[in-house]
Amino acid sequence: MRILGIESSCDETAAAVVEDGRKIISNIVRTQISTHELYGGVVPEIASRAHLEAISSVTRLALEPAGGIENIDAVAVTNAPGLIGALLVGVGFAKGLAFSSKKPLVPVHHIRGHVASAYLSHSDLKPPFIALIVSGGHSHLVLVSDYTSYRILGGTRDDAAGESFDKAARVLGLGYPGGPKMDALAKSGNSDAIHFPRVHFADAPFDFSFSGVKTSIINYAHNAEQTGRELNKPDVAASFSKAICEILTEKAILAVNTVDLPQKKLVVAGGVAANSMLRKMISDAAEKNGVSLYIPDISLCGDNGAMIASQGFFEYVSGKRAESDLNAFATESIEL
């Protein structure tokens, strides 16, 4: 079964065709980075307009290797969560396409899509497992008990991990998008140079908080400026990254060791899963703890249509269909 996946929740217009949830036939991503770079972050209205301009050609390109919409069994589209104006473009387009081609339409939760990106890179991966999902707007630890059943174990109480990388990058004057730039700079720095705080909650071991570490880096940079001390940016980037990656690793491993699972399996997904320090730290910890680790290829960590097509397949198989009044939502729990 071939599913066309359409994704427009943030700053990438993406479409892909995936077979049986696992095999990528096509995967086209048109990023808006150069458009938003000018403003230092995503401007929602500009993002919506850029999606509107790109979505037809991106979808046409994705359909080409599949031989056109006639060879597609269903259209899957991200309808939540994300920037509402951006989501509405994808949902409106997918509805029109499904209607005109008489194909079923399947709504997909964006974060479920991130989890599914691991199925694309690891053909043997099956639930149940623990998923650490770390993106620009979300940081969650989730028990994935089946392809469409989720239970949130914990999440961030303030900023998401990706958001804090982006803010730290802005403090260091690295520009947007900050995560990959922090990653690159951290490689030449000393991660033990500065101690940034790690937050723990005694009553909620799987919850995160990244606002303290964000404030800490802002204060550190201001202090350096006021005292005329030159910032060692690679050291700051490396030390900041270590604080974030350590917390994520520690809690993910704790979750997989605590929750009763037939096999200790951990998935790490979302834009921040591309981070080289996190990949290394979490794979070392997984090995030490006898945990099987599944991280998508770096090319599938950021937003893409293939992950939506993959999850769309599993949603379709479970019987999920969009009604004719399908809408988009800026927020929606992964559990629903």
Which residues on adjacent β-strands are paired with residue 292? 265
Give how far Cα 121 sits from Cα of 140, 251, 260, 290, 304, Å.
Answer: 21, 23, 25, 21, 13
Among 166, 207, 235, 315, binds ligand KG4 (CB under 6 A): 166
Shortest reach from residue 331's CB to ligand KG4, in Å: 13
Shortest reach from residue 70's CB to ligand KG4, in Å: 31
Binding mask 120-159 for ligand KG4 (x = CB under 6 A): ---------------xxx----------------------
Among 8, 135, 139, 191, binds Zn ion (CB under 5 A): 135
| End-to-end CA gap in the chain | 25
Binding piece for ligand KG4, criterion CB under 6 A, among 87-95, 116-124, 160-168, 259-267: 160-168
Segments in 174-232 forming alpha helices (H)? 178-186, 211-226
In sequence order, what DSSP letters do the residues of 244-257 get, joined into one string?
HHHHHHHHHHHHHH
Binding mask 261-280 for ligand KG4 (x = CB under 6 A): ---------xxx-xx-----
Angle made by CA atoms 265, 135, 47, in degrees to the nearest 5: 145
Residue 240 contacts which entry, ligand KG4, Zn ion, none (Cβ below 5-8 A, type-dependent): none
Shortest reach from residue 112's CB to ligand KG4, in Å: 12
Shortest reach from residue 87's CB to Zn ion, in Å: 12
Among 147, 303, 310, 314, binds Zn ion (CB under 5 A): 303
In sequence order, what DSSP letters do the residues of 113-131 get, joined into one string?
HHHHHHHHH-TT--SSEEE
Give the containing element (helix H, strand E) for 8: none
Which residues on adjacent β-strands are paired with residue 131? 142, 267
Residue bearing tokens 């703890």? 289
- Tokens (6 digits) for 102: 């008489």
Cβ proximity to Zn ion, 238 vs 272, nearer residue? 272
Residue 179 near ligand KG4 by CB under 6 A: yes
Residue 305 near ligand KG4 by CB under 6 A: no
DSSP 243: H
Binding site for Zn ion (CB under 5 A): 135, 303
Which stretches of the chain bind ligand KG4, using CB under 6 A? 10, 135-137, 162-163, 165-166, 177-180, 182-183, 270-272, 274-275, 302-303
